[in-house]
């Protein structure tokens, strides 16, 4: 690899391992427009929680009118009875610690996967976020239950950079009311993501963020370690974000988490997420997704 690529990968590894929430991030939005209770999973060794890296995520939703609560239970029919909307972001298996190597253990038991599948089918709204390795691998089975194929991988461009822009101009921003806008949804021109994974979607799903052959899926044996032997393939006709109706319920699946929060990373407090100048519309997509999940 060229030295510049090596430097970038080392920088990425250091920066993204030192993320702290940007507590000053506050987008301009209508207060109290939305209603409902949103539960965020914190029972599966989640990398993002509402009192830490997903604090800005919760802050945006609360300012918009939602009630956001932690969900600290394993998934059973009993505990999900009163839940309408559930967010699962970057779950890991119990006691999982780096350095992360393949194969990645599932964050959920088989029984939990079946429970979540049935809960959505019966009317639940699930927002599942599974980032790059090892988070993608930890949610493979849950994604598979709904027909999605996750790759325990990293989505990078040809120069192995993971900052990706989705626009109508590059034909990577899908045709859907969640980005096209209407009386219920804000119109969006550009979304930026920060590495993550790309996945294969079932025929009934609609891609919001579409990847192309210019992007490459890398499948390293160890997190953030790449070399000439690393398996890879073009991300043609894959997605980094999609939505689907499932039975009486709805599901939104995205392969990158930083895009829905605001973080300061590394010693230079590099802005990663909604606070980035080039990701100024990302918060709109977050609100559109939550609104769509509620059935609006």
Q: Which residues contact 158 (CB under 8 A, 6 or more apart)?
A: 214, 216
Q: Classify residue 219 by its DSSP letter.
A: E
pLDDT of 14 above 60: no
pLDDT of 16 above 60: no
pLDDT tens string 137-177? 999 999 999 999 999 999 999 887 899 999 999 999 999 99
Percent of the chain with pLDDT over 70: 94
pLDDT tens string 266-295? 888 889 999 999 999 999 999 999 999 998
Q: In which band, very low, low, confident or very high, does the pLDDT at 98 lie, cut at 50, 70 and 90?
A: confident
Q: In which band, very low, low, confident or very high, does the pLDDT at 17 lie, cut at 50, 70 and 90?
A: low
pLDDT tens string 18-44? 689 999 999 988 877 889 999 999 999
User: Could you tell me the pTM of the whole model?
Assistant: 0.94
pLDDT tens string 119-137? 999 999 999 999 999 999 9
pLDDT for 1: 44
The DSSP-derived string for 2-28 is -HHHHHHHHHHHHHHTSEEE-TT----
């Amino acid at each position: 690899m060229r030295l510049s690529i090596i430097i970038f990968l080392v920088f990425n590894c250091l920066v993204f391992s030192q993320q702290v929430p940007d507590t000053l991030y506050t987008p301009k939005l209508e207060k109290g427009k939305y209603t409902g209770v949103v539960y965020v999973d914190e029972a599966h060794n989640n990398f993002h929680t509402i009192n830490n890296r997903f604090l800005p995520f919760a802050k945006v939703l609360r300012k918009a009118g939602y009630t956001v609560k932690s969900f600290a239970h394993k998934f059973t029919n009993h505990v999900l009875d009163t839940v309408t909307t559930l967010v699962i972001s970057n779950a890991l298996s119990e006691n999982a610690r780096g350095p992360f190597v393949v194969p990645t253990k599932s964050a959920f038991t088989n029984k939990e996967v079946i429970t979540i599948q049935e809960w959505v089918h019966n009317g639940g709204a699930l927002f599942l976020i599974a980032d790059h390795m090892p988070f993608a691998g930890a949610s493979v089975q849950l994604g598979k239950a709904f027909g999605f194929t996750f790759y325990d991988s990293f989505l990078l461009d040809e120069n192995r950079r993971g900052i990706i822009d989705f626009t109508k101009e590059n034909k990577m921003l899908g045709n859907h009311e969640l980005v096209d806008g209407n009386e219920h949804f804000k119109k969006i021109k550009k979304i930026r993501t920060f590495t993550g994974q790309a996945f294969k979607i079932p025929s009934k799903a609609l891609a919001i963020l579409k990847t192309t052959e210019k992007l490459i899926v890398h499948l390293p044996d160890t997190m953030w370690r790449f070399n000439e032997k690393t398996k890879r393939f073009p991300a043609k006709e894959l997605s980094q974000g999609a939505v689907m109706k499932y039975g009486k319920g709805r599901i939104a699946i995205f392969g990158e988490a930083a895009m829905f929060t605001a973080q300061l990373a590394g010693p230079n407090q590099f802005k990663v997420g909604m606070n980035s100048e080039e990701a100024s519309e990302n918060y709109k997509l977050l609100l559109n997704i939550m609104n769509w999940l509620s059935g609006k």
